[in-house]
Amino acid sequence: MKFARNAQSLDASYIREILSAANQPEMISMAGGLPASSLLPVQLIRATCESLADNHHLFQYGSSQGYEPLIDTMKQQSQHSDKPWLICNGSQQALDLIARALLEAGDNIVAEVPAYLGALQVFQLTGATICPLNSDTAGPDLNQLEDYFKHHNVKLFYCVPDFHNPTGRVWPRETRIAVAQLCRDYDVTLIEDAPYRELRFAGEQLGYVSDLCPEISIRLTSFSKIGFPGLRVGAMNGPTAFITIAERIKQATDLHTGIPQQAIIHALLNHAEFEQHLTRLRRGYQERYQCLSRELTQQLGDQIQFDTVEGGMFVWLKLTQGDSAEIAARALQHNLAVVPGAAFYPTDTALENHALRLNFSNTDPALFPEAVARLAKAL
């Protein structure tokens, strides 16, 4: 079989390999980006699931744009935008549709690095070149961003301004305004990926960057982190001309996202106790984060450094010495799964090999003392 060149360039995901090791019984896994199984809102969808079989219409073919009641809910919730919605198989499919609609081999795109691996892979599959953008707690380096926009004919800028994966960072308000302005000035499409936004457990919620430049932005929403990742439902919102093309591509790809799972997400979002569920989820993650952060400070002291996070699922742990890939491999031998920083960089990019991504949402808080003790052994 002769594989396409771009398909061959896709490496087996390092994270997938770690996750398969993470299933062993003695392992404590802080590797995946999984929500807490114990906090999945199954009680809120029980009645809907039980009555699914009585609703034959949910099992017919449906519209490519999505299940109408769910689209109506999305419209009601996006008060600042009258742009159309497209329901997708997770926000991961939205990334794929964006790549197919906008990118051609040789195009330049900008992404903050480190970056969400799934986005890098989708963009790399098109043959686009990723211009790596440095960022810190104040958000992306604006001079570097403008330099890319000015000199590299950039087609799109992919970003995760709220509780970034893997760093957990949030862009401050001034950065949001400046980035929106730059995208406008240079006519670059902004892709705002916001799966963790609702998981804020401290600090102040800031506005969407895409609301500051609506005519050139696309926003991605996921129901995986506040609902159920296994249902594979997400959504994107963008200018009409873009959503029209993306819907046609979706139709050619898979006709539409499964209706029963869209009906379940619709029921979840409209459940009288949905807000209470979000509050419980945020509290649960805050407790996990505080517990992890306390153990890291007490047990590892000056061997590590990390910035406080106000939500999301991740801590980006900087090691004062040692190679993080080696330490992650050693941690696996001590039955602890974590992801080394190098996994979050595009190929051929200078990378951070002194950082680890720790997920805190999917670990029982009682296990953090032992998890950090195992990391201490690996260090």
Member of 35, 41, 114, 118 binding ligand PLP (CB under 6 A): 118
Binding of ligand PLP by 116 (CB under 6 A): yes
Pairing of strands 234-237, 85-88: antiparallel
Q: Which of 274, 294, 39, 311 is nearest to 162 (CA)?
A: 311
What is the smallest separation between the CB atom of 1 and ligand PLP, expressed in angstroms? 28
What is the smallest separation between the CB atom of 2 and ligand PLP, expressed in angstroms? 30
Stretch that binds ligand PLP, among 18-26, 37-45, 221-229, 300-308 (CB under 6 A): 221-229
Member of 234, 311, 312, 346 binding ligand PLP (CB under 6 A): 234
Binding of ligand PLP by 92 (CB under 6 A): yes
HSE-up of 139 (CA within 13 Å, CB side)? 19
Binding of ligand PLP by 90 (CB under 6 A): yes
Residue 115, both tokens: 């970056």
Smaller CB separation from ligand PLP, 34 or 367: 34
Query: Which contacts qualify for 273-280: CB closer than 8 Å, 24 or more apart?
Result: 273/44, 274/41, 274/44, 277/41, 277/44, 277/226, 278/198, 278/226, 280/39
DSSP 148: H
Binding of ligand PLP by 314 (CB under 6 A): no
Binding of ligand PLP by 340 (CB under 6 A): no
Secondary element (H or E) of residue 112: strand 108-112
Stretch that binds ligand PLP, among 61-69, 86-94, 177-185, 238-246 (CB under 6 A): 86-94
Binding of ligand PLP by 217 (CB under 6 A): no
Binding of ligand PLP by 224 (CB under 6 A): yes
* Phi, psi torsion values for 336, nearest 5 degrees: -130, 125
**Maximal CA-CA distance, the chain:** 60
Member of 140, 229, 258, 311 binding ligand PLP (CB under 6 A): 229
90-102 and 117-125 helices, crossing angle to 10°: 30
CB 71, CB 65: distance < 8 Å: yes
What is the smallest separation between the CB atom of 277 and ligand PLP, expressed in angstroms? 18
Binding of ligand PLP by 35 (CB under 6 A): no
User: Residue numbers of the site for ligand PLP (CB under 6 A)?
Assistant: 33, 90-92, 116, 118, 160, 165, 193, 195, 222, 224, 229, 234
